[in-house]
Amino acid sequence: MDDLETQRASLHDLLRAGLPAQALITDPDVMASYARDMAGFCAAGAPAAVVLPRTVEQVQHVMRTATELRVPVVPQGARTGLSGAANASDGCVVLSLVKMDRILEINPVDRIAVVEPGVVNAVLSRAVAEQGLFYPPDPSSWETCTIGGNIGTASGGLCCVKYGVTAEYVLGLDVVLADGRLLSTGRRTAKGVAGYDLTRLFVGSEGSLGVVVRAVLALKPAPPEQLSLAAEFPSAAAACEAICAIMERGHAPSLLELMDRTTLRAVNAMAQMGLPESTEALLLAAFDTPDPAADLAAVGELCTAHGATQVVPAEGFAESEMLLQARRLALTALETVKSATMIDDVCVPRSRLGAMLDGTAAIAEKYDLTIGVCAHAGDGNTHPVVCFDSADEDESRRARESFDEIMALGLELGGTITGEHGVGILKKEWLARELGPVGLEMQRSVKAAFDPLGILNPGKLF
């Protein structure tokens, strides 16, 4: 055997010593299926092993082995991410947490849930709902994405405008560090300010500081069912003016989402939902207040005052859920427009949302590309989706250049390169631009403190 084969055999032997046989995968064809997440334009390597642990002790064994042999480790969840953060590197151990999928506790008095990282978001949401509780973060991929992945990328979702993002619901974590030690951060209490907030540090760290093996999550009382409306606008600018007016007047919608005509047509083509294709922008607003009809009526008046050509309240909770489902399908539907997509994730101040959408349209025209936009309009988080033919070299080049121009536009408007999808491989160069040299130096120093050998998810973030 050559040196590489010898090293790989040694790695496999050491891993087997502390793992059940079914937890270790070494077949190259099977390992290839764990090589990447859903992001395009992101390189992925060939792992040396894939491990699917079921216990904290098994995760610790993997990290101790990796430290001993100086082997990189790439933590993974369901691989629904859109930045390449879960992509394998050559010779790494892919550490897939999907088998650690137990809900350990739901406590209605303390309003917390304690879960393992492989619990699927929708599974947790339904479990707590049975006890009259609510876990608000709801990414569009909530039926498949895991809580560990949500924590790793600081995920958001459709209801963020009222309820906030994942970081606001993570109270405490158990984390296996690079050397295999187990660190507990945070608390189970409603309040707590003892020491540095290490819990928040891990949220959004994309597996680069440690491996989350347990999370204490805050819950809320279940709200009333939400009612929604759809408002059609002759331009994205008019819709954005209405959004600003809604927020300025103090309304608190549980959902405020925007889809442009390209997105509407894609959703209709895929799901035959009958959404209006003649409008330039469709605004969806929903309320889960005690009197949602009154709130919707007030918002409808604001939409009309700002140029809406039609305002259609849902006729009941079922129709409201249909509109919500249409928005959840937006990214998936845009993926059917061409053979490939690049999904941007630029968040700008609400007051600059119109400029962001107009600028994106100009970029689409400049590069002669189809770019559909859906947005969490209530918090300024836009998802321009660049649709292109991956077999066309020139179109692929234009797609990448347009993607970069969209991120530059977001920074120019006072925004950030990612609101919820993370940095991964896709945006690491842009993270450096956003942070600046001093910020980047501090981030790297934090990384070095937790992972001095640099074995945790190398090549991501920076």
Q: What CATH number corresponds to the domain at position 216?
A: 3.30.465.10
How many beta carbons lie within 10 A of that of residue 213, not counting itself? 23
The answer to whether 63 touches 107, Cβ cutoff 8 Å, is: no
**Positions of E strands within 200-339:** 211-218, 220-221, 227-233, 255-260, 281-287, 310-313
pLDDT of 319: 85
Same domain, 126 and 181: yes
Same domain, 234 and 211: no
Token pair for 432: 């450096």
Of 189, 221, 253, which marks where a domain is finished? 221
Q: What is the largest CA-CA distance in the chain?
A: 75
**Positions of E strands within 40-197:** 49-51, 73-76, 93-96, 103-107, 112-115, 133-134, 170-176, 182-186
* Domain assignment of residue 141, yes or no: yes
* Domain assignment of residue 439, yes or no: no
Based on the structure, what is the number of domains in the chain?
Answer: 3
Same domain, 176 and 276: no
Token pair for 92: 């790494």
Q: For residue 351, what is the DSSP state? A: G
Same domain, 83 and 124: no
Same domain, 172 and 134: yes
* Domain assignment of residue 369, yes or no: no
* Domain assignment of residue 433, yes or no: no
Same domain, 81 and 165: no
Of 178, 205, 221, which marks where a domain is finished? 221
Same domain, 126 and 173: yes
Q: What range defines the domain where residue 66 resides? A: 3-96
pLDDT of 1: 58
Same domain, 204 and 293: no
* Domain assignment of residue 43, yes or no: yes
Same domain, 109 and 121: yes
Closest CA to 177 of 144, 210, 216, 199: 210
The answer to whether 350 touches 413, Cβ cutoff 8 Å, is: no
* Domain assignment of residue 173, yes or no: yes
The answer to whether 77 touches 23, Cβ cutoff 8 Å, is: no
Q: For residue 146, what is the DSSP state? A: B
Instruction: Please give the Cα distance from 192 to 406 (Å, whole number).
Output: 39
* Domain assignment of residue 336, yes or no: no
The answer to whether 105 touches 215, Cβ cutoff 8 Å, is: no
* Domain assignment of residue 68, yes or no: yes
Q: Residue-wise pLDDT tens for the chain (462 aa)?
A: 578 888 899 999 999 999 999 999 999 999 999 999 999 889 999 999 999 999 999 999 999 999 999 999 999 999 999 999 999 999 999 999 999 999 999 999 999 999 999 999 999 999 999 999 999 999 989 999 999 999 999 999 888 999 999 999 999 999 999 999 999 999 999 999 999 999 999 999 999 999 999 999 999 999 999 999 999 999 999 999 999 999 999 999 999 999 999 999 999 999 888 888 889 999 999 999 999 999 999 999 999 999 999 999 988 888 888 888 888 899 889 989 999 999 999 999 999 999 999 999 999 999 999 999 999 999 999 999 999 999 999 999 999 999 999 999 999 999 999 999 999 999 999 999 999 999 999 999 999 999 999 999 999 999
Same domain, 208 and 230: no
Phi, psi of 393 (to 5 degrees): -60, -45
Same domain, 121 and 204: yes
Q: What CATH number corresponds to the domain at position 268?
A: 3.30.70.2190
Helix axes 56-69, 3-16, angle to 10 degrees: 150
Instruction: Please give the Cα distance from 19 to 211 (Å, whole number).
Output: 17
Of 221, 251, 267, which marks where a domain is finished? 221
Token pair for 181: 């030690």
Same domain, 77 and 163: no
